[in-house]
Amino acid sequence: MQLFDKTLGDWLEYWAKETPENECIVYSDRNLRFTWSEFNIRVDNMAKGLLSIGVTKGSHVGIFAQNVPDWLTFLYACAKTGAVAVTVNTNYKEHELSFVIENSDMHTLCITDGVSGNDYLKTVYSLLPELKTTQRGRLQSERFPEMRNVVYIGQEKHRGMYNTAEILLLGSNQNDEEFLAVKQSVNCHDVVNMQYTSGTTGFPKGVMLSHHNIANNGYLTGEHMKFTHSDKLCVCVPMFHCFGVVLAAMNCLTHGSTQVMVEKFDPLITLASIHKERCTAVYGVPTMFIAELHHPMFDMFDMSSLQTGIMAGALCPIELMRQVSEKMFMTITSVYGLTEASPGMTQTRLEDSFETRCTTVGSEYEFTEVAVINSETGEMCPDGVQGEMCCRGYNVMKGYYKNPEATATVIDKNGFLHSGDLGVKDPDGNYRITGRIKDMIIRGGENISPREIEEFLYKMPGIKDAQVVAIASPKYGEDVGVFIIPHENSDIKPEDVRDFCKDKIARYKIPRYVFFVPEYPLTGSGKIQKFKLREMAIELCKKQKVKII
């Protein structure tokens, strides 16, 4: 294996030349297909169109959309012009969007109509009222002085905005001289993508990632799954998140594989796309795989083409991994990391045993040094001793945008990126995540791992999913609470859960507070927001008149 010094544009042009007629992007639900050659031409026209409206090297271009067909067109158009694609969480409301626009010094914002319960057009007109009275391309925002353009991703016309058809037309009428000069000035170590951390606590920070960071992380991810240009990856994870744009898109970009896209995660569309396109791989967070496996029409679809995939984004239950392996015919791998690490630090390999793939997050990526560090002493922990998961290497971000102080708190003087996660290294070189430093429950001086209890509760009939959180306790400091999504037609009660635990796990680990919910609060990338569960617990205790002791 090796690291490449190619830009994203270099990779795209490589496959457009090597395998021009192979399919690059497919939307199976609408039979929309682009070959590598067709897609490269579309990207060039979009890039020249962006140049014609003032986007150039270093400009920040926001993409506020689900996995729509031109999401990747804008990403690669930015890459070829040296602009930075700022990926915006699709769940952001006005307050959060305004923060990202201002914090990122955004020049151009690309949007769709929005998602259910979130009207992007209304939000953007509220933030940029000048759009309604300003000619396109001449926006002067009092609130956001760097903002110059809004592009609507689609055919409809909206006041003060370009649409994608107009940008493509502008690009097709431009000569190539300026475009070629700008493209040749782009270096693989330039920032190409800025991702705002998911914001499960406080305001997010802009993580600056280079072509070199993300292309190589995607390449190595695919190598661990033995990807080739004949593979087809069903992409139902959001592109604004590292899971989508790096582990999926960059994997396909560097291997010439086909991306079978799902615009918004829907278990039925995902299953149908895998079946129709004979996909060889699919990704997802645990909640996505649960939704697919338990869909009433699951048995109608042929999953036998699947070979591998990734389950990540949250701690993966062993029982769920087993079901995915048996019912979806996949040798599932898991990737551990964080956005600041581009994102992968470790990954299980196809050749690893089922037990290794279920109980560990694998070994470190090539060209990456992973260390378990004692947070108090700064010393490296020996094998088997818990500490903070850290890494250094090609994949470490270039920093947080305009925030050197925050950057210095996570990248130490030795160049190690600190994850905030607890882990241990096994003697065989694999790593196990033992918890999040902030998620650890400390009850009366006893340290309790939420994951340990979650894994235990997965064995109880009637439980579809379980998430354990700390509940503030006047008596113990913290106590154990669990939110359970029951199986359909299950009638389990809180006392049933506690009875199931009795005499099987230590008494102090048995959940005192048990709540049944139909779903969990999620970030736009599908991660469970445990801080919201903790807030919900307090409200539910009040509502149910349960005294917190």
Is 28 within 8 Å of 236 (Cβ atoms)? no
Q: Among 196, 227, 255, where does a domain finish?
A: 196
* Containing structural domain, residue 66: 8-22+31-196
The Cα–Cα gap between 304 and 327 comes to 9
Residues 379, 352 contacting (CB under 8 angstroms): no
Instruction: Specify the pLDDT at position 198.
Output: 56
Number of domains in the chain: 2
CA 509 to chain centre: 31
Tokens standing for 33?
Answer: 């297909």
Q: Which of 165, 196, 227 is the last residue of a domain?
A: 196
Q: Is residue 300 part of a domain?
A: no
**What is the number of other CB atoms lying within 10 angstroms of the CB of residue 159?**
11
- For residue 486, cis peptide bond before it (omega within 30 degrees of 0): no
CA 143 to chain centre: 30
Whether 266 is in a domain gets the answer: no
| Helix (H) / strand (E) containing 25 | strand 23-27
Q: How far is 548 from 403, CA to CA, in rounded Å?
A: 40
Total Cβ atoms within 10 A of residue 543: 8
* 3-state SS assignment for residue 548: coil
Residue 182 lies in a domain: yes
Q: Which of 254, 259, 245, 267 is nearest to 222 (CA)?
A: 254
Tens of pLDDT, residues 193-228: 999 985 434 467 999 999 999 999 999 999 999 999
| Cβ-based neighbours of 74, under 8 Å, separated by 6 or more | 46, 61, 63, 85, 110, 153
DSSP symbols for 123-169: HHHHH-GGGGGS-TT----SS-TT--EEEESSS---TT-EEHHHHHH
Q: Please give the pLDDT value at position 101.
A: 97
Tokens standing for 144? 């956001």
Question: Looking at the domain assignment, is residue 256 inside a domain?
Answer: no
- The two tokens of residue 225 are 């799954």
Cβ proximity of 76 and 12 under 8 Å: yes
Pick the closest to residue 468 from 518, 419, 524, 509 (CA basis): 509
Arithmetic mean of pLDDT over the chain: 93
pLDDT per residue over 6-48, tens digit each? Answer: 999 999 999 999 999 999 999 999 999 999 999 999 999 999 9
The DSSP line for 438-500 is: TT-EEETTEEE-HHHHHHHHTTSTTEEEEEEEEEEETTTEEEEEEEEEEPTT----HHHHHHH
- pLDDT tens for the chain, 549 residues long, are 899 999 999 999 999 999 999 999 999 999 999 999 999 999 999 999 999 999 999 999 999 999 999 999 999 999 999 999 999 989 888 888 999 999 999 999 999 999 988 899 999 999 999 999 999 989 999 999 999 999 999 999 999 999 999 999 999 998 899 999 999 999 999 999 999 985 434 467 999 999 999 999 999 999 999 999 999 999 999 999 999 999 999 999 999 999 999 999 999 999 999 999 999 999 998 889 999 999 999 999 999 999 999 998 666 788 899 999 999 999 999 999 999 999 999 999 999 999 999 899 999 999 999 999 998 889 999 999 999 999 999 999 999 999 999 999 999 999 999 998 899 999 999 999 987 776 778 787 677 878 889 988 998 999 999 999 999 888 788 899 999 999 988 999 999 999 999 888 878 889 999 999 999 998 877 888 888 999 999 898 888 888 887
Question: Does residue 79 form part of some domain?
Answer: yes
Q: Which of 169, 196, 223 is the last residue of a domain?
A: 196
| Closest to 316 in 3D by CA, of 439, 460, 432 | 432
Assign residue 496 the CATH number of its domain. 3.30.300.30
Structural domain contains residue 315: no
Tens digits of per-residue pLDDT, 475-510?
Answer: 788 899 999 999 988 999 999 999 999 888 878 889
Domain-located, residue 243: no
Count of C-beta atoms within a 10 Å radius of residue 114: 17
Distance (Å, rounded) from C-alpha 74 to C-alpha 525? 20
**Residue found under tokens 């708190």:** 409
User: What is the crossing angle of helices 176-184 and 71-81, to 10°?
Assistant: 80
pLDDT (0 to 100) of residue 199: 42
Task: Determine the pLDDT at residue 58.
Answer: 97
Give dist(CA 373, CA 363) in Å, integer: 16
Does 181 fall in a domain?
yes
pLDDT at 445: 67
Compute φ and ψ for 150, nearest 5 degrees.
Answer: -125, 130
pLDDT of residue 437: 75
Assess contact for 150 and 138: CB atoms under 8 A: no
pLDDT at position 451, please? Answer: 84
What CATH number does the domain containing 122 carry? 3.40.50.980
Let me know: does 392 contact 419? Beta carbons within 8 Å.
Answer: no
DSSP state of 249: I
pTM of the predicted model as reported, rounded to 2 decimal places:
0.86
HSE toward the beta carbon, residue 433, CA cutoff 13 A? 31
Helix axes 94-103, 120-127, angle to 10 degrees: 60
